[in-house]
Amino acid sequence: MDSAQNHKLPSPIHIVTSSTCAEFTHLLQSLRQSTVVGLDAEWKPRRSSQPDSSPFPPVTLLQIACQFQAEKSDEGPKSEVFLVDLLGVPLGDVYQPIKEMFESENIIKLGFRFKQDLVFLSHTFSTQGCEPGFDLVAPFLDITNIYFRLKSQNSAKRCSKDTKSLATVCEELLGISLSKELQCSDWSSRPLSEEQIQYAAADAFYLLEIFSVFQQNIVNKGECAASVSVGDDDHCRMMQSILTDFGDKIVLKESDKVPKNTNKKVKQRKSINGNKKENVEVCTEWQGPAPWELSVGGDGFPKFLCDVMIEGLAKHLRCVGIDAALPSSKKPEPRELLNQAYKEKRVLLTRDVNLLRYQYLAENQVYKVKSLLKNDQLVEVIETFKLSISEDQLMSRCTKCNGSFIQKPLTIEEAVEASKGFQVIPSCLFDKNLEFWKCTTCHQLYWEGTQYRHAVDKFVSICKLKD
């Protein structure tokens, strides 16, 4: 398997940093020649909890992979990738060319769940004087639809319509592994690192590649009017035929251009109009599989990352023996959270519905907890993830740091020795012949005293371990 990050793309990458540079002229020229473009955008993510005047994150980079016919007709199509630095190029200079490309009947636009990008992009432009922003991308092909089309041809049973990340799609269709790590990098810092450049370009470029696989597939199957020979006319007819069968468009309505009120119940994937193409609302129901599941190469042990708002749930999960980490920083950015979840193969539990939008960074690794109270949250997580909790698992993990206990319990003498300097063991425990447990990570000592028994009783009751 090839790692896209370790290799340069086969297409040239042009970074457009101003409207006076040669690359800008080159971009305009390429847009005029293109028949197919792959689109992607990067932005600086923010938390909904942060007070800010702007409802959407500003898009800082627009990637456009252009494909056009070579001048000599015996060569195949050529492609080039443009990274348009929206922090450098005056938006007024690039607004019309982009808008024309979005709306041009002669250019097929490819994207991967591009509606979200378009909302942010439109907002970025319209707030800087480019009214009314962008409200139409047509003709448009969603790579997800192409993927499902290709998959359903190759397997007898209908493949599931689970959300797939672009990385998964690339891996399955092209055998190329796209690292997700850079998705979490800061896309507003300049200059972009070489890795960021390659990464950003790859996201747009491989849309063209996936489309090529699709075109080839159609030619092979003779599914459209064009036969196997792909001359200029045939090529046009094939494109027309693809558009007739698979063409779509993204239309932004006024309601799309205002932020969703997060206090309202989030629309659920299945409940609205049933039109999958239009429907890019985030799904709040857990779909799975979780990263620890054996079917996806996990070790079978559930692991969670609790967002800062639900630290109490983390402690509760630890009390019932479940591995529940907290974010590594106090005010984590969404991408940091997703990055941590991805690296540690955890499911991020959050109350912030906006984090679901970042699911594509770590597939099946975000769950929005619906319950408000800790005890209810615990039950919700146990039921949603079908966690098996047994009584001997209770209090088997350090509630302070999520660490595990040393295998063998300590005697009172050993415990007193171990506690010196940071923890006081009440002298009333000395004659009670108790067992002490030490956390391997933070060395906190726990013992099976009254508090312990109360806690066990409490969790036996919450988790309904006894009928």
The residues binding Zn ion (CB under 5 A) are 398, 400-401, 403, 439, 441-442, 444
* 346: amino acid identity, one letter: R
Beta carbon nearer to Zn ion, 49 or 441: 441
Tokens of 454: 């109360």
CB of 321 to Zn ion, least distance (A): 14
Beta carbon nearer to Zn ion, 374 or 443: 443
DSSP of 45-110, one letter per residue?
Answer: ---TTS--S-SSPPEEEEEEEEEE--SSTTS--EEEEEEEETTTS-HHHHHHHHHHHHH-TTSEEE
* 153: amino acid identity, one letter: Q
Tokens of 390: 């047994």
How distant is the alpha carbon of residue 411 from its chain centre? 48
CB of 410 to Zn ion, least distance (A): 14
Q: How far is CA 458 from CA 77, 171, 320, 322, 387, in A?
A: 67, 47, 10, 16, 18
CB of 400 to Zn ion, least distance (A): 5
CB contact at 8 A, 218 and 242: yes
Quick one: CA torsion of 139, 145, 147, 149, rounded to 10 degrees? -110
Q: Which residue has the tokens 């109270």?
A: 373
CB contact at 8 A, 205 and 228: no
Tokens of 425: 């063991």
Beta carbon nearer to Zn ion, 173 or 445: 445
CB of 398 to Zn ion, least distance (A): 3
CB of 314 to Zn ion, least distance (A): 13
Q: How far is CA 439 from CA 219, 415, 424, 427, in A?
A: 63, 12, 15, 21
CB of 339 to Zn ion, least distance (A): 24
CB of 443 to Zn ion, least distance (A): 7
Helix (H, G, I), strand (E, B) or coil at 360: helix
Q: Which residue has the tokens 């800062």?
A: 308
Beta carbon nearer to Zn ion, 138 or 425: 425
CB of 406 to Zn ion, least distance (A): 11
Beta carbon nearer to Zn ion, 34 or 399: 399
Beta carbon nearer to Zn ion, 335 or 438: 438
Beta carbon nearer to Zn ion, 115 or 316: 316
CB of 296 to Zn ion, least distance (A): 29
Helix (H, G, I), strand (E, B) or coil at 144: helix
Beta carbon nearer to Zn ion, 236 or 406: 406
Beta carbon nearer to Zn ion, 16 or 395: 395
Q: Is the peptide bond before 90 cis (omega within 30 degrees of 0)?
A: no
8-state DSSP, 15: E
CA gap 102, 262 in Å, rounded: 30
